[in-house]
């Protein structure tokens, strides 16, 4: 049995139905947390929640588009009624990186609706959930937030479009601002910058792109969702209680800065 570092904690994970979010939610459950899963894909979310049943522990879930504040508020009311306390850990993980035939849009051809959609999910989604959950964290003088940024938020990548890098850089700004403002209330806020992680999102890029990244990665491989999940759990565990406002690369030594 894993060490129960998250016992007694209630954790909300967005984009929980797939890839990194699915691994993060599984890890928190295995470490003893009660789990709230949020995703826009109802079918995948139900399947993931069912797959967690073998672990035991409390899992509640609600379908919501993180970009829609009112929908998130309604989802929170729905799950909150089933929990016996406030949510004290938030993992802002939901994110999208639209591509056509494995390629990102050129900026000069970008559909303005696509720009709005990416900003809505990747950035406003993080604002929405932080805005909804921080009042209780401040009241309780306890909480932790992890924002899922990306190496694309720190450097220009040729295979992601401008909206993606812009939102991932903005999440780093949000992380620092919230860390500064919420620190005096006993709340830590950090970001993870994953490199190339083996998930459905990564597979929207061409195989050649992913092979090229492996060649540029010091450890010469892709990362696994589990490796990001373990960092997320560390950043909200007692072992990291003096760590806040930081961006931690989980990237195998790719794009080291």
Ligand X SMILES: NC(=O)c1ccc[n+]([C@@H]2O[C@H](COP(=O)([O-])OP(=O)(O)OC[C@H]3O[C@@H](n4cnc5c(N)ncnc54)[C@H](O)[C@@H]3O)[C@@H](O)[C@H]2O)c1
**Residues marked as catalytic:** 164
**Contact flag: residue 172 with ligand X (CB under 6 A):** no
Structure tokens at 48: 């993931």
The residue with tokens 């588009």 is 65
**Do 179 and 137 form a contact (C-beta atoms < 8 A)?**
no
DSSP run (H or E) holding 48: helix 42-51
Neighbours of 192 (CB within 10 A): 27
Positive or negative CA dihedral for 222, 227, 229, 232?
A: negative
Q: Which span sits near ligand X by CB under 6 A: 3-11, 36-44, 50-58, 239-247? A: 36-44
> Which one of residues 15, 98, 143, 165 is an interface residue with ligand X (CB under 6 A)?
15
Stretch of residues binding ligand X (CB under 6 A), selected from 90-98, 107-115, 182-190, 235-243: 90-98
For residues 137 and 146, which CB has a smaller minimum distance to ligand X in the complex?
146
Token pair of 136 as six digits: 């209780």
Please select the residue that binds ligand X; options are 17, 76, 146, 191, rule is CB under 6 A: 17
Among positions 106-165, residues that touch ligand X (CB under 6 A) are 121, 148, 150
Among residues 203, 208, 166, 230, which one has the least CA distance to residue 30? 230
CB-based contacts of 103, cutoff 8 Å, min separation 6:
159, 206
Q: Which of residues 186-225 bind ligand X (CB under 6 A)?
A: 194, 196-197, 199-202
Smallest distance, Å, CB 179 to ligand X?
19
* Cβ-based nearer residue to ligand X, 123 or 182: 123
Angle between helical axes of 69-80 and 125-140 (0-180°, round to 10): 40
Q: Is 93 in the site for ligand X (CB under 6 A)?
A: yes
Q: Is 170 in the site for ligand X (CB under 6 A)?
A: no
Q: Is 104 in the site for ligand X (CB under 6 A)?
A: no
* Binding positions for ligand X, rule: CB under 6 A: 14-15, 17-21, 39-41, 44, 65-67, 93-97, 121, 148, 150, 194, 196-197, 199-202
């Amino acid at each position: 049995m894993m060490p129960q570092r998250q016992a007694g904690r209630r954790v909300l994970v967005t984009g929980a139905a797939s890839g990194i979010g699915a691994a993060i939610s599984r890890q928190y459950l295995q470490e003893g947390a009660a789990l709230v899963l949020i995703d826009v894909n109802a079918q995948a979310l139900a399947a993931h929640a069912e797959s967690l049943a073998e672990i035991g522990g409390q899992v509640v879930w609600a379908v919501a588009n993180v970009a829609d504040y009112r929908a998130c508020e309604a989802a929170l009311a729905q799950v909150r009624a089933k929990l016996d306390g406030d949510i004290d850990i938030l993992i802002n993980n939901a994110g999208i990186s639209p591509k056509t035939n494995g390629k990102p849009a050129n900026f000069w051809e970008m559909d303005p609706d696509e720009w709005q959609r990416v900003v809505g999910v990747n950035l406003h989604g993080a604002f929405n959930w932080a805005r909804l959950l921080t009042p209780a964290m401040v009241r309780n003088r306890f909480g932790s937030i992890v924002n899922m940024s990306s190496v694309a938020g720190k450097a220009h990548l040729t295979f992601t479009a401008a909206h993606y890098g812009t939102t991932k850089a903005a999440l780093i700004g949000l992380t620092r601002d919230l860390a500064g403002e919420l620190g005096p209330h006993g709340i830590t806020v950090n970001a993870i910058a994953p490199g190339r992680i083996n998930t459905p999102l990564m597979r929207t890029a061409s195989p050649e792109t992913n092979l090229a990244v492996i060649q540029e990665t010091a450890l010469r491989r892709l990362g696994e969702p589990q490796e990001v999940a373990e960092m997320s759990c560390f950043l909200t565990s007692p072992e990291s209680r003096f760590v806040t406002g930081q961006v931690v690369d989980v990237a195998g030594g790719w794009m080291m800065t």
